[in-house]
Amino acid sequence: MTWSPYYRGDGVERRETRLPDPPPWRTFPRESSAGLFEPPEGLIAAVNAALALRRPLLITGSPGTGKSTVIEQVAAELALGPVLRWHVTSRSTLGDALYHYDALGRIHAHRLQQERVRAGAADAGTDDIAAFMTLGPLGTALLPSDRPRALLIDEIDKADLDLPGDLLDVLERGEFRIEELRREGQELAHLRMSGGEATYPVHGGHVQCTEFPFIVMTSNGEQELPAPFLRRCLRYTMPHPTPELVREVVRRHLRLDVPASGTLADLVDDFVRRVADREPLAIDQLLSTIHLLDGPAAMDASERSALIGLLMKNLSGA
């Protein structure tokens, strides 16, 4: 087992102590888990329908069931490039997802420029609004392209009630306008794209997609989404885990076959039961627990029970 008292709480320095190798999903830089995901029944059809109809795919399910992994696998198989990610919170707005304009930064730069002019600097710089703009994940996904880009809108159900409605027009028309560029009459602006330093030429402050992005939206079912919004999506609900499905997930992620009986088998069965009882638990909690407990026992039963309780707490509270 990988569990060991590396930290002992006595303040004594132990330079020779070597931490174990991390679990596969906690190595950095992070590797895609696309090859480890096995789509449940019906999901492949839902993805293909969304691709063919150019509609977003809304995937609902409990935490840790692989909702956000779906798009990684699709993007890898269809060579759609790096996945753009918009993690939604109660403070998220449509504007932030389209682009960000750093007005305060521009004002500060303008003041510095004036000071350089007064000081007689040979090169005082230029006031280019594009230098203070960055396209958001949704804005980048809607840029013209030969192939659709992949966009994950994670936990859409955490959004303010108005956000799904605000999204409707953009999802229908596949376009948006950058009013700051239009007001200043800037015909061409090279704007930085989300997730890197690459730029894209935007003409007349208008962005119009040529290939509608492949969009996956995830929801934990925390709030009901409006019907007009749902009408524009294809919807899929992740099935509740079964012992067979969980054993397969463990095998793929940990390269471990869970035995028919014993501590690990009991963990799997207890996890499936608790999830079926609608207790909020995530599969990565189970994977972490099995990762620590697999192998020869290095603790007594009470210590093992305490560790399991620590790692398998439900997600409804702190």
Whether the predicted model's global pTM rises above the 0.85 cut: yes
Is the model's pLDDT at 246 over the cut of 60? yes
Q: Which residue has the tokens 């609900």?
A: 237
Is the model's pLDDT at 249 over the cut of 60? yes
Q: What pLDDT, on a 0 to 100 scale, did the predictor assign at position 133?
A: 94
Quick one: pLDDT band at residue 273, thresholds 50, 70, 90? very high
Output the CA angle 183-187-195, nearest 5 degrees.
90
The packing angle between helices 43-53 and 69-78, to 10°, is 60
Instruction: Decide the pairing of beta strands 206-208 and 175-177.
Output: antiparallel
Is the model's pLDDT at 318 over the cut of 60? no
- Output 23 or 269, whichever has higher pLDDT: 269
Contacting residues for 14 by C-beta, under 8 A, at least 6 apart: none
- Output 316 or 15, whichever has higher pLDDT: 15
pLDDT tens per residue, range 4-63: 778 889 999 988 888 888 888 888 888 777 778 889 999 999 999 999 999 999 999 887
Is the model's pLDDT at 314 over the cut of 70? yes
Q: What pLDDT, on a 0 to 100 scale, did the predictor assign at position 64?
A: 75
Quick one: pLDDT band at residue 135, thresholds 50, 70, 90? very high
**Ranges 12-26, 249-263, 274-288: which has the least confidence:** 12-26
The beta strands (E) that lie in the chain are given as 57-60, 84-87, 99-101, 133-135, 150-154, 175-177, 188-192, 199-203, 206-208, 214-219, 234-237
What's the rounded Cα separation, in Å, for the pair 201 and 217?
A: 28
Cα distance between the two ends of the chain: 27
Quick one: pLDDT band at residue 124, thresholds 50, 70, 90? low
pLDDT tens per residue, range 74-113: 999 999 999 999 999 999 999 999 999 998 888 888 788 7
Q: What pLDDT, on a 0 to 100 scale, did the predictor assign at position 35?
A: 78
Quote the mean pLDDT of the chain. Answer: 90
Considering the chain, what percentage of its residues have pLDDT values greater than 70? 96
pLDDT tens per residue, range 161-201: 899 999 999 999 999 999 999 998 899 999 999 988 899 99
Is the model's pLDDT at 125 over the cut of 70? no
